[in-house]
């Protein structure tokens, strides 16, 4: 079988299928795994455990956040436990690729899947190597997995189109002398980051990952953010720029004849923070299990593969739907609404509750605890959960 996309999710799928003694080819369009970097690399400890990646990839541990309201008020969420880990994402990706190769998967880098079509009993995939653009070769397989992100070739050939947003991000690794410590900074406001937020994630030794999401020209919004907060961004020097998109939608069909979608290609992303590693890795397990069952039974029909959709919806579907509802309310908030919301939560009781129940992987845990807000605050409830949890830890950016 063929996995299109050599990112961490595709490699996790390939690892598990190869470990079940099936031949697996991983097709990666870039010459090196993990490059270019398009993720802030902030994950939970459970994500690291799930990935089986070495703890050596951890660069910094984060224990809290400062949430900056549009009007200037700051919500300080400082805890004693580690809420998130800033990891070396290139090393993280390469570790998973190594796991896949060790399990027996073949890795084909600098190779792009340019077309695929159904044939009797399987799929024909046309591949083109970066160094030989004039010639493409065709391989056939019984099953193809699309782990090739938003705009997936597999999804297009299945005519499974995303039904939601694709939000542009601008991010960078930077030298930032003022970023020492273990506290993430989150910046809110329609003039600051319309439809999303800005962030500064300390990574130790005077470095940080910075970024912002916006529906247009995110780099310009980052420049404006730095000018508005000179104390935070003083002395900043960009070391490496990254960019990408956050797919924010619910994928109602992630399978077809002889084909499966996983990760960003299947919308396995947290709509509140944009993080895709934890959901993607959980769904990678389910994708691999379904693929193994299909290959063993020699039944790669969409009827058989439909069980994968049911499995991942039962596993992470409710969290994605919950996040989409919160995001819808958030998009309707004015800056004045956000200021009122931050002011409301900026009390010892609410800060303690947020720190106790905030979880960057399961946003609904805190949502349940906030269900008894006073009647006048109901208007802000869902958006409040959205922003506060993003403040407790941001993941893609992970």
Structure tokens that stand for 332 in this block: 């309707």
- Does 63 map to a domain? yes
pLDDT tens across 177-207, in order?
988 789 999 999 999 999 999 999 999 999 9
Q: Are residues 296 and 189 in the same domain?
A: no
pTM assigned to the model: 0.91
Rounded Cα gap, residues 274 and 245, in angstroms: 9
Q: Are residues 95 and 69 in the same domain?
A: no
Q: Are residues 184 and 217 in the same domain?
A: yes
State which residues form the domain around 238.
42-87+164-247
Domain boundary among 218, 247, 276: 247
pLDDT tens across 326-366, in order?
888 889 999 999 999 999 999 999 999 999 888 899 877 77
- Does 67 map to a domain? yes
Q: Are residues 147 and 205 in the same domain?
A: no
CATH number of the domain within which 146 lies: 3.50.50.60
CB-CB contact of 123 with 259 (8 Å) = yes
Provide the pLDDT for residue 37. Answer: 76
CB-CB contact of 212 with 196 (8 Å) = yes
Q: Are residues 141 and 197 in the same domain?
A: no
Rounded Cα gap, residues 154 and 113, in angstroms: 9
Q: Are residues 227 and 362 in the same domain?
A: no
End-to-end distance of the chain based on CA atoms, in angstroms? 28
**Weakest mean pLDDT among 2-11, 128-137, 311-320, 337-346:** 128-137
pLDDT over 80 (residue 391): no
Q: How far is CA 364 from the centre of its chain?
A: 17
State the total domains in the chain.
3
Q: Are residues 104 and 201 in the same domain?
A: no
CB-CB contact of 388 with 272 (8 Å) = no
Q: Are residues 25 and 72 in the same domain?
A: no
* Look-up of token digits 């990952």: 209
pLDDT tens across 138-168, in order?
999 999 999 999 889 999 988 887 777 889 9
Angle CA 83–86–88, to nearest 5:
155
Structure tokens that stand for 173 in this block: 């690794």
DSSP per position, 323-380: HHHHHHHHHT--HHHHHHHHHHH-SHHHHHHHHHH--SS-THHHHHHTTT--GGGHHH
DSSP per position, 278-321: HHHHHHHHHHHHHHHHHHHHT---HHHHHHHHHHHIIIIIHHHH
Q: Are residues 205 and 136 in the same domain?
A: no
- Does 13 map to a domain? yes
Q: Are residues 141 and 156 in the same domain?
A: yes
């Amino acid at each position: 079988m063929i996995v299109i996309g050599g990112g961490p999710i595709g490699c996790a799928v390939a690892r598990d299928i190869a470990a079940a003694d099936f031949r697996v080819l991983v097709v990666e369009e870039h010459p090196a795994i993990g490059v270019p970097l398009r993720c802030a690399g902030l994950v939970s400890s459970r994500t690291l455990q799930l990935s089986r990646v070495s703890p050596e990839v951890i660069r910094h541990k984060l224990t809290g956040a400062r949430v900056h309201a549009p009007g200037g008020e700051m919500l300080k969420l400082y805890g004693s436990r580690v809420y998130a880990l800033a990891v070396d994402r290139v090393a993280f990706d390469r570790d998973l690729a190594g796991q896949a190769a060790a399990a027996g998967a073949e890795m084909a880098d600098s190779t792009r899947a340019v077309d695929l079509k159904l044939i009797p009993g399987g799929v024909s995939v046309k591949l083109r190597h970066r160094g030989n653009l004039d010639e493409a070769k065709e391989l056939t397989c019984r099953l193809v997995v699309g782990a090739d992100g938003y705009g997936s070739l597999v999804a297009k050939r299945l005519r499974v189109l995303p039904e939601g947003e694709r939000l542009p991000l601008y991010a960078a690794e930077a030298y930032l002398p003022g970023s020492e410590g273990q506290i993430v900074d989150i910046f809110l406001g329609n003039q600051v980051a319309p439809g999303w937020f800005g962030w500064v994630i300390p990574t130790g030794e005077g470095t940080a990952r910075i970024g912002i999401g916006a529906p247009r020209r995110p780099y310009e919004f980052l420049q404006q953010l730095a000018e508005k907060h000179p104390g935070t961004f003083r002395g900043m020097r960009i070391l490496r720029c990254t960019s990408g998109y956050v797919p924010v939608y619910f994928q109602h069909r992630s399978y077809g004849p002889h084909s499966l979608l996983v990760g960003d290609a299947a919308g396995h992303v947290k709509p509140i923070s944009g993080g895709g590693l934890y959901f993607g890795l959980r769904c990678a397990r389910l994708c691999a299990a379904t693929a193994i069952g299909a290959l063993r039974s020699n039944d790669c029909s969409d009827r058989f593969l439909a069980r994968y959709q049911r499995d991942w919806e039962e596993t992470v579907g409710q969290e994605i739907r919950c996040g989409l509802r919160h995001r819808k309310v958030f998009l309707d908030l004015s800056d004045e609404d956000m200021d009122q919301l931050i002011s409301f939560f900026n009390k010892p009781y609410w800060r303690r509750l947020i720190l106790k129940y905030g979880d960057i992987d399961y946003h609904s845990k805190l949502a349940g605890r906030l269900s008894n807000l006073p009647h006048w605050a109901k208007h802000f409830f869902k958006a409040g959960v959205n922003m506060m949890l993003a403040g407790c830890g941001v993941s893609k950016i992970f």
